[in-house]
Amino acid sequence: MASASTPGSAGLAATLVTLILWSLTASLTLQLTHLPPAEVVAVTFLLAGLACLPFVRSWRVPLRTFLMCSLCCAAYRLVFVEAFTLSPHVETNLIFGLNTVLIVLFSPAALPGYRLRPNHIIGVVVGCAGVVLAVGYGHLHPTIRDLPAYLLAIGGAVLWALYSLALKRLPPVASTSMGGSLLGAGLITSALVWTLPGAGLTLPTATQWTSLVTLAIGPTAIAYITWDRAMKSGDPRIVASIMNLGPLTSTLLIIVINHQPMTWQLMLGAVIVVVGSFIGCLEMFQRYFQPPALVLPADAASAAALGDAAAPVADLVA
């Protein structure tokens, strides 16, 4: 049975790097809402794949691994950019953040040996309460104009949760092999540039090119590799609980970079999400407060075992 162990030093580092880089995704995407979504995704993934060329030797993976990663990454990012094009608000970003909650909830069904502990369930409930408070600034009255974006965000959250859990069921391959899948996702979305409604090519400005390159290198090329590493090497329930901090960090960046209004409901909701994240990954902190187990040195343990074995013989001689 899988244990609710910590992600390990490598997995924890990968999780934190992903958290930091993905916090930038929404803010960078908001700088690109005047470009066709398919073009944004195609250029981003093509640049990300080219940035991963130094790891090209690790790109030889089973076909189903390549196709699943390429298609899921392309579909999720298309939904993400389209949602922000329709409704460029912090609420959209917070709904996408529910993918971490869904990873925790889906783990027992998707992965053998994993079960939900009380702190996982409590963390999910508390995290959802924070998102509910923040969405609609505590009123939960989305307008008809914003509803399509919210529905896309919900679908994107479900897709990413299922994809993330599927990573643990794929044949083991190097995380750097994601570079090939990112390039594949870029080629797939490039074919859609001329076919999707409202698609086509628009020449980016210098500022938009900066955002595209930054989005490709950090939140895509690096973050997709570190996310793959985190999910494969750690407990997905704990990794997802740590990633619950994403709505707080990304929302703060949206507010600061894009000059969006701040409300007390929004900040309180984000803080509640952080509390839920802490509760959901209690196992990671417990080991630091447990007394170390008493381990006898090898010589002492052997001597103790020999003494126990010799005791009946000594009684007979006596």
Q: 164-205: per-residue pLDDT in tens?
A: 999 888 888 999 999 999 999 999 999 887 776 655 678 899
246/267 Cα distance (integer angstroms) = 13
pLDDT band at 9 (very low <50, low <70, confident <90, very high): low
What angle in degrees, to the nearest 10, is found between the helix axes of 63-86 and 178-192?
50
Report CA 41 to chain centroid distance, whole Å. 18
Rounded mean pLDDT, 217-234: 91
Structure tokens, 181: 């899948």
| Tens digit of each residue's pLDDT (9 = 90 or more) over 75-129 | 999 999 888 888 766 777 778 888 888 888 888 877 777 777 887 788 878 877 8
Confidence of residue 13 (pLDDT cuts 50, 70, 90): confident
Q: Which residue did the predictor score with more confidence, 209 or 128?
A: 209
In tens, the pLDDT along 261-288 reads 667 777 787 778 778 777 877 766 665 4
pLDDT bucket at 49, cuts 50 / 70 / 90: very high
pTM exceeds cut of 0.75: yes
Higher pLDDT, 211 or 251: 211
Please count the residues of the chain: 318
CA distance 170 to 110: 12
* Residue found by looking up tokens 């398919």 in the block: 38
Cβ proximity of 273 and 135 under 8 Å: no
In this prediction, residue 312 carries a pLDDT of: 45
How big is the chain by its Cα radius of gyration, in Å? 24
